[in-house]
Amino acid sequence: MTTSDAPAWRKSTRSGGNSNCVEVADNLPGRVLVRDTKDRDGGTLTFGPAAWRAFVSLAKTHA
């Protein structure tokens, strides 16, 4: 994996301060990766960019 192929993880802007945090990597072409900040080795969800945008939009309306 080259540096440009490596996920650039960042804490989600919608994560709160109550230990319910997720990290998002949206720098890879055609996919958005999501993982639990507390369990980084516990697995990663993969979304297509359109599905991720739809999820975030829906989450904002129910926050």
Provide the residue-wise pLDDT of the chain in tens; the chain has 63 residues. 555 689 999 987 766 666 678 899 999 999 999 999 989 999 999 999 999 999 989 988 886
Please state, in angstroms and rounded to a whole number, the distance separating the CA atoms of residues 24 and 37.
10
Q: What residue spans define the domains of the chain?
A: 3-61
pLDDT, residue 18, reads 67
Q: Which residues contact 27 (CB under 8 A, 6 or more apart)?
A: 7, 8
Q: Which pLDDT belongs to residue 14?
A: 65
Q: What is the pLDDT of residue 45?
A: 96
Identity (one letter) of the amino acid at 12? S
Which DSSP helix (H) or strand (E) runs through 61? helix 49-61
